[in-house]
Structure 1
Amino acid sequence: MSGQGSNWLKGMVTIHIRGGQPEQLVNRALAGGLQLSSIRWTSSGLLECELSISDFFGLRPYLKETGCRVHVTKRKGLPFLLVKAERRKLFAAGIVLFFAIIFMLSSLVWSIEVQGNVKLTEDQIRAAAKEEGLYPMQWSFRLTDADVLSKQLVRKLPGSTWVGVEKKGTKVIIQVVESTIPDKASLNTPRHLVASDDAVVTEIIAEAGRPVVRKNTKVKKDQILISGTIGGEMNSRTVVAKGNVRGLVWYEFEISSPLVQQVKVYTGDKETKWFAVIGSRALQLSGYGDSAFGKSESIKHEEKVSWRNWSLPIGRMKETIMETRMEDRTLTEEEAKNVGILQAKAKLLLKTGSDAVIRDEIVLHEKADNGKVYMKVLFEVEQSIVKEMPLVHMQGE
């Protein structure tokens, strides 16, 4: 143990020596085997030094010989801490209880996170883990060794090739690797790929079958794009046509956009509530009672107790409730027009699919009447234009 640590355990005092012969006191004490340190003269002309409690009581004979008196100015070390703790028993007990609770909370499994599962459901994995003694609020020391637990979970989870169990603080992560089974090829009947809408072809890629249209060709709905019949007249056969054909399709929208719209604004008034968080539960500490706001929004911010890589399942949460109100906002005709077109585009892309691209828009008609802007807009959209048609329907060709 270091010298400072040993001195702290024994207890040290700092003293001022008054009257008599201070130098003689120090010399005789050192010669008698007492350990005095940090010896110096203070600005008030007193000799100051530091020594242990046992050496302090050993000074008595030397004080009589030299006619000196001592005054203790500082006390430090474990003995003095124990005296204070004895005087404040409830405070000391509270500190001990606090650290005991922290230790107990950190020894529990508070949450289980499942990763990597695709076919296996999270409920299946959690149920298998529970059978092996792994579940929230379980003591960490009661858990089976991670390697053994991993092997047991692999046996209980059909379709898994490896299961990893890792404990991070109060959280356990279950990593699942599932076995890969190739998908069975679907049994498709011979087919054509035909146009789903009237369009102008912008791209055609035939993976199987015979393309019968070219780029920049105008096609009608249900017209064959990639034929499932290949070969000559004397040596033809049917296949499952595959490929991708994109084209320009036109959509006409009638739009009405109001010149006065309601928007949500914040008034600036807010209320704050504080909660103590333990695991997944929150205990309200302040801000009781119903909110005085008619309309409001709340924002929650949670802070957990953490130290380095450890995160304990206890902390606090602040909930800020902000008052809102609806206000009328008057738009210009141009602003109302832009809002209406944006809403129409959102509906159009929802209808045509995520791979669709709006290439152009043409306003065919526009007028303002009764507080609204009315428009007729033509949108040009590049999208996939293929749909399947079984060859059994094409026998009359």
Structure 2
Amino acid sequence: MLNLFWSWLSGYVLLHLTGGGQERFLNLALQREIEIWDINWLRDDLLELKAAWGDLKELRRVGKICGCKLAIRRSRGLPFTIHYLRGRKTLAVGIILFAAGLFALSQLVFAVKVLPQEELHELDVAQVESLAAELGLKPGVLFARLDTDALAAELKSQIPEISWVYIERNGTVVNIKVAERSIYPEELENATKGAIWADRDALVEQVLLKHGQPMVERGDTVKKGDLLVAPLADGRADAIVRGRVWYQGYGEAALEQEEVTPDGRPAYLYRLTRADGRELLLWGQPPKTPEEGGQISSQTADFTFNIFGTAVDLQREALQRELITQRQLSEQEAKAAAYRQAEQTLSAQMGEDAKRLNEETAYQLLPEGVWSVNVTWECLEEIGIHTQTETQN
């Protein structure tokens, strides 16, 4: 694509070669590093190709050597366009003025629309349009001269019924998106029913408001327990609030690890325990005590029976001889084991819908040959907890 654009800037020609010797012509042109492209055989004796306008003189020399006849079929590119317009100055001026006019018109505001984001009860759309016009947002003004953030803030401050306002441009139309305020600042401390709260510390990334009064916007930092969306007069709030959350996990692994392996099959002991605490070994024999570097692990399972009105417990104990050996890990193996430990901690903290955006790891070699790692995950997830309105009696 870049080569085509450069060819258009410098100008190129479409050539037809006749007279034989076309193969030699191509080889000789390539040897002289003349760029040619879009090579097509139209007939056995007719070759079509494209070449830069600046290489035409050299191509004529090559054609003369090879006995080929060159004919220019078309010329394209900026130099030829300029040459064409030089002889038609009125047309050139007209094109420039037309383009400038289109650009100027595209910068103007043709219409202003107020778009409520929900059903309005007290807010008057005509009042919003009138105040916006007084503040300079009206058809015929240059959009580039408007400070939309300042306009939105002024609209919100002068019309108390507005809880949220956003101004956006869509071509030559400016849309004023508004939401009506149903809960006022002095009432917010009592706006607890049906509200949406932050369930963790986060940086707000997205607020998808369905119903309610948003108390935060993109870029706000919130703490766990902060109010995100307050309910309207009907006591309901519905929204999806997503935020960036940072989780930290820690793991460590020693370069020298103990490995425990079973030594033989387990031995099972079965005992009966009466209600008075007395035990009776039914069958089974404990395994021999392992040699140095071993141990015996035990697992028990209890079963209770009622025999002639007397509670009797049957206990099964599995005794397993185990060998303990020392294994030396490589640096990479120890780091991987430490990371897996940190990963388990992080996975337990994350929400089910969390999407990991970024990861940072910091490894450190501790005394006694232990590798540690601090892992930080940056995640995007929903951070709101929805409290249902209590039923009124």
Q: Same fold (TM over 0.5)?
A: no
- What TM-score do you get using the length of structure 2 for normalisation? 0.40
